[in-house]
Amino acid sequence: MEELKQAILSGQIKPGEKLPSENELSARYQISRHTVRKALSILINEGYIEAEHGRGTFCSQRMGHLKNSRNVAVVTTYISDYIFPRLIQGMDKVLTENGYSIILKNTANSRTKEEKVLEDILTKDIEGLIIEPSKSQIFCRHTNLYGMLDEYEIPYVFIQGVYSQMLDKPHILMDDCKGGYMVTKHLLDYGHKKILGIFKADDSQGRERHKGYVKALQEAGIAYDPDMVVWFHTEDRKTKPGMIMELLLKQKKEIDGIVCYNDQIALEVIYCLQKNGVQVPTDISVTGYDNSVIGEGMGGLTTITHPQEKLGEMAAELLLEKIRKIPEEKSKIPRLIEPELIVRGSTRNRNQK
């Protein structure tokens, strides 16, 4: 079943082409006709092939991608929480105004699920794709599926990250290095010297924000200390930052400021500090990233703007340019979004008595 699927996805078996008979497949793979029938049944249910009574099975015509459906696939790591509803809202606004409908998928930031989602999308009649890559810092092993989108002339736009092998593909990113630099410099300007950094290891945003953190420390003449950096992954994002924070507090690690990967992590860190009797910002200042709604409570979180709805609109507009084959030199969509610092109550100026 998997081999036939790959042959269809790679174009080796073309839309409308007849597949080998059950007997031929049974002989080729040395399995029973019953097993062959089960494999073909799965491919029929998934839309890869169609059975015609008395004639056999054929590669689905849907694999031809007629590209007149007015459908656009949108794939994000998550859908219903944090910044994602507003991000999707921005895309939907632009695409709806231009007569397109969204096929919405999510990957839960799983590479395996992204691969399955792309395989499914390749069976759909879509005109374009907007995708937030899963774990964008890790080498992508399913570039063949993106290659098939290229082969079918289905344009796609990456948002919030891009795989290192695909930097030449259309993408819109935040200037995360500059954002990481700005929050770290803010703490330095406020007189902080012992600044802990908490970053995500498996996406390019985490790498870039860490890069900005390092740059600000170097400019201030503070030596980089790897023991003052905590790395976490998608799978342990809900547990590791808080657990490491508890451990550092027990070790009485000298910390006066914390730069967090995003607002979600910052709020978890603040909760952990307060639970252990540490006051924010009196004892330790904390910064977030993304300017999410969750960061507006408790006196407010110092953070970096993330124009969620605007980014969604920009991604949709860039995809429409690609669908309409507008040359790159005539594009009106910026590819890098400038960050802005928002100072709220989670940071304290230690220079003031």
- The predicted pLDDT at position 63 comes to 66
- The predicted pLDDT at position 5 comes to 87
Q: Tell me, yes or no, whether 184 and 279 share the same domain.
A: yes
CA distance 218 to 268: 28
Q: Tell me, yes or no, whether 165 and 314 share the same domain.
A: yes
Q: Is residue 347 part of a domain?
A: no
- One digit per residue, pLDDT tens: the chain, 353 residues? 989 988 887 778 888 899 999 999 999 999 999 999 999 999 998 888 999 988 999 998 766 655 568 999 999 999 887 789 999 999 999 999 999 999 999 999 999 999 999 999 988 889 999 999 999 999 999 999 999 899 888 999 999 999 999 999 999 999 999 999 999 999 999 999 999 999 999 999 999 999 999 999 999 999 999 999 999 999 999 999 999 999 999 999 999 999 999 999 999 999 999 999 999 999 999 999 999 888 776 679 999 998 999 999 999 999 999 999 999 899 999 999 999 999 999 999 999 86
Beta partners for residue 341, in sequence order: 304
- The predicted pLDDT at position 198 comes to 98
Buried b (16+ CB within 10 A) or exposed e, 311-343: bbbbbbbbbbbbbeeeeeeeeebeeebebeebe
Indicate the number of domains in the chain. Answer: 3
Q: Is residue 18 part of a domain?
A: yes
pLDDT in tens, 100-153: 999 999 999 999 999 999 999 988 889 999 999 999 999 999 999 999 899 888
CB atoms within 10 A of CB 80: 8
Q: Tell me, yes or no, whether 296 and 269 share the same domain.
A: yes
- The predicted pLDDT at position 64 comes to 61
Buried b (16+ CB within 10 A) or exposed e, 28-63: eeeeeeeebeebbeebeeeebbeeeeeeebbbbeeb
Q: Is residue 158 part of a domain?
A: yes
CA distance 229 to 321: 41
- The predicted pLDDT at position 67 comes to 57
Q: Is residue 344 part of a domain?
A: no
Using the 8-state DSSP alphabet, how is residue 340 labeled? Answer: -
- Do the Cβ atoms of 321 and 305 come closer than 8 Å? no
Q: Tell me, yes or no, whether 233 and 289 share the same domain.
A: yes
Strands, DSSP E only, in the chain?
Answer: 49-52, 56-59, 71-76, 101-106, 128-131, 156-159, 171-174, 195-200, 229-232, 257-260, 285-287, 303-304, 336-337, 341-342
Q: Is residue 349 part of a domain?
A: no
Q: Tell me, yes or no, whether 197 and 293 share the same domain.
A: yes
pLDDT in tens, 224-234: 999 999 999 99
Q: What is the CA radius of gyration of the chain?
A: 25
- The predicted pLDDT at position 100 comes to 95
- The predicted pLDDT at position 65 comes to 57
Q: Tell me, yes or no, whether 237 and 318 share the same domain.
A: no
Q: Is residue 353 part of a domain?
A: no
Q: Is residue 132 part of a domain?
A: yes
CATH, residue 200: 3.40.50.2300
Q: Which of 6, 40, 47 is nearest to 23 (CA)?
A: 40
Q: Tell me, yes or no, whether 251 and 240 share the same domain.
A: yes
Q: Is residue 45 part of a domain?
A: yes
- Prediction pTM value: 0.81
Q: Tell me, yes or no, whether 17 and 160 share the same domain.
A: no
Q: Tell me, yes or no, whether 137 and 252 share the same domain.
A: no
- The predicted pLDDT at position 13 comes to 87
Counting DSSP H helices and E strands in the chain, the numbers are 11, 14
Q: Tell me, yes or no, whether 169 and 251 share the same domain.
A: no
Domain end (from 64, 85, 106): 64
CATH, residue 34: 1.10.10.10
Q: Which domain holds residue 195?
A: 176-306
CA distance 180 to 259: 8
- The predicted pLDDT at position 353 comes to 65
Domain end (from 285, 306, 327): 306
Q: Tell me, yes or no, whether 165 and 119 share the same domain.
A: yes
Q: Tell me, yes or no, whether 286 and 272 share the same domain.
A: yes
Q: What is the mean pLDDT of the chain?
A: 92
Q: In angstroms, what CA-CA distances link 243 with 146, 170, 231?
A: 38, 38, 12
